[in-house]
Structure 1
Amino acid sequence: MFSNESKDNFPVKISVIIAMKNAEKYILRTIDSIIVQSLPEIEIIVIDDNSDDSSVNIVKQYYDGIDNVFLYHNRGIGGPGICRNIGLSHARGEFIAFVDSDDFIATEFLETLYNMAVQDNADIAVCGYDKITSDAFLRSYAPDAGIYCGGNAFIEKLNTIEFVIWNKIYKHSFLKKNDISFRLPCYGEDWLFSFEAMFLAKKYTCTKKSLYYYYQHCDSVSHKPVETGVFSSIYDFFIFLDEFTQKQKSLTEKMISQIETNFFFSSITCYIAPLYDKMSPHERLLLRDNIFSRQFGQGALHMKILLDAFFTLYSYTEQSLKYDRRPESHI
């Protein structure tokens, strides 16, 4: 299939891994944006996560016979983390990239990041991204351009890095050497992977260019109702995070606290708040007495107080903004 082998005996430069779950509306655009990349020496690995729509048939119909597109199936426990691990087990690339099955990338995405990583001898290369809908631009993220160190120096950059996996490429040998994979099936699996990789990296390199398009739609995971099982997953996330930080002997207690605080408030914003905001007072009480007590122990009451205070402040601010936007009276 590929006549020339790149360094480290990897037959392709980049393996692009796609975890696919019911993506029939978007998967063609996603894969097409990878096929037309300006970097030709790549492979595309699609892992289907028990889809019950026509996603698999679409991939087979349109990409059968294309020798660098591979389709695998996750027959076990579902979740994007599980699927990406399957992809990693089959990947032959010098670098690894992850693209979500409803997103797409600029034509020069892979070539730009690959050249940066090779030129700067970096374990990870990072670019900016645009968050969009079908008819609107929502926001963009642009990291500070430059070459940076991992380890303790990385802690100073916590507030400037978004711990998503898909606006980056990772050196494959670096991931293998440090045994970096997805430890969770979902809910925070990408945060943990990205944080561990960036902390352990000797160097990572960044460009401000927006080369990844993070597509928002009503079918996306971020727009679906959050289930109470998320609390168990977030609890597991912090268990794994604590295990990782405790192994890093160079980290001080202050640094560990800074890391945990960063992800604690991220978890509230992304996962806990959407569920908690829709609950009745009775449901919130049950949540505190059951799920919170199991996951946070003596901290359950403090968690409830914090969330209640958060939404009280949020409601007050929302009402204040509505008041400020009222048209002026002409009486």
Structure 2
Amino acid sequence: MPRRAVLALVVALVVVVGGLVAWRSGSSPTPLSRALELAPSSTSRFSWTDWEGVRREVGAEVGASSSGDEVDSFVSEAFGGDLTSMSALGTSAGTMQDELGLSPATLSWELLAQSGEGAVEMMGVGEDVDLDDLAGRLDELGWTAPEDDDGVWVGGTDVLASVGALTPELQHVALLRDLDLVLASDQVAYLEQAVQVATGDADGADDLADLAGGLEDPVAAAVYSGDYACEELAMAQADDDAQAEADQLVAAAGGVHPLTGFATGLLPGGDVRALLQVEDADDAPDDADARAELASGPAPGQGGEFADRFTLEGASAEGRVVTLDLRPQEGEYVLSDLTSGPVLFATC
């Protein structure tokens, strides 16, 4: 083949490969939405923690050289600001730091993706984490190494118990070096499926990724499918009196439409944003008005008024998505309050 043709072919291959890498790493506008694209499409509940953001919010100087006790103190301090309520690693932080060299002190971000089939803990790592070092530690601690670099390190309950206080989600681990990503799960088969998604061999949760992009760069967030939100945030979680009061309040506000997605996030600085997605864009403006009214009044099932917890700073509709911007009152754990039912303004 002539030299010029060879060079042209090489350039074409570089462009194609570069495009694929860019698609996997940057097709969505925010770290949260990109992370959702790497999670199994069957996921109905996502819990996000931006550990770099949490460290900035509390002014923490923990890192790779910190002790487990120092990392536990950092996590406790962050808990007081409702910054860690979405994390699955809080009670494991110190042990992870001491034994694995991987913890909330060194992670870039964490995403717990849960479905009816299983759960996978996704951890983004930065320059402070050496995955080869982590592989060596896993080997020394009793995990069984995979045949392939992207394969699953098999542990189990006995291995975990021998290490110390670690969440069950860390039983089995996969190290995806090309993506600066660590995956873990309590089920080997589900973790293998998650690896296929993350490496581009299966579909991710693209629909919810689009919705999550509206949260921009939250420090902590929850993202739910419509079915999950309509079940877990429903007023059916409340007693009969609260349900009757809720029915009256919803009717007085003009009614609402079922949700096809829900996301709420704690933003840098402390404000909270809730995104409520409906099926038809034509219904979103009316839902914005109704849900804004509901978010400004009584909170049946939770007690008191929503105004005791936050001030509604704004309500808007764009496309199918209703956005509510909330400013928490001093000392209120608004993100935690809005991620389990009953939540009147998120009713379906």
Category of TM-score, reference length = shorter chain: under 0.3
TM-score (normalizing by structure 1): 0.23
